[in-house]
A and B are shown apart, each in its own frame.
Chain A
């Protein structure tokens, strides 16, 4: 079974303060994990991905995430929020490809508000 839980539907931070968006996953395999960002009325853009190499993954725009197998977590962080970070963020879990259909499960999203 495969599932992903984003623990907060909304997060509000002040500009210049750290960002933490939480994600827990469940998978029968050693999964791939992704974070996507969606700005209002836009498509989804890949922020970063974990694919069984380094557990600390760096992405675009200063975001990073740490894969913690013991905690089944893949939380997204950024040291200092910028107004342009205001968006919705999706955590995604995927089984590694082994032929046939690659199952992908999306979290329900976390809306990040950045206060000036």
Chain B
């Protein structure tokens, strides 16, 4: 357990509404990530952060934005939710980035349904 929580754990929303998902970690790790998981695609990176106010895009960032105003919180916002954003969203952290020692640890996930 890397001390990662996600909220909410489940959410149903309507097309066109904004949605914010929260990832919270308790161990002051520098690197945090947001992924989405869809059948047949594995996990795909949406955005990542390498420090407070330092974020960058991943491979599927369209329609998403992120913010990190504190080390412990990484927020993912769907600016105007669409049905294609129905997915399970995972937050991850990397405790150490030293050469090969770079495994990620994951939160429990948020299941989002956009109607």
Contact = CB atoms under 8 A, between A and B. Distances in A.
Interface residues of B, number: 25
Interface residues of A, number: 23
B115 interface: no
Interface in B29-65: 31, 40-45, 48, 50, 56
B80 interface: no
A94 to B, nearest CB: 6
Contacts of B56: 101
Contact of B103 (A46, A101, A108): A46
Contact of B40 (A42, A49, A97, A108): A108
20 contacts: A9-B40, A32-B102, A36-B106, A43-B109, A44-B106, A45-B106, A49-B103, A51-B99, A51-B100, A96-B99, A96-B100, A97-B98, A97-B99, A97-B100, A97-B101, A101-B48, A101-B56, A102-B31, A104-B104, A106-B44
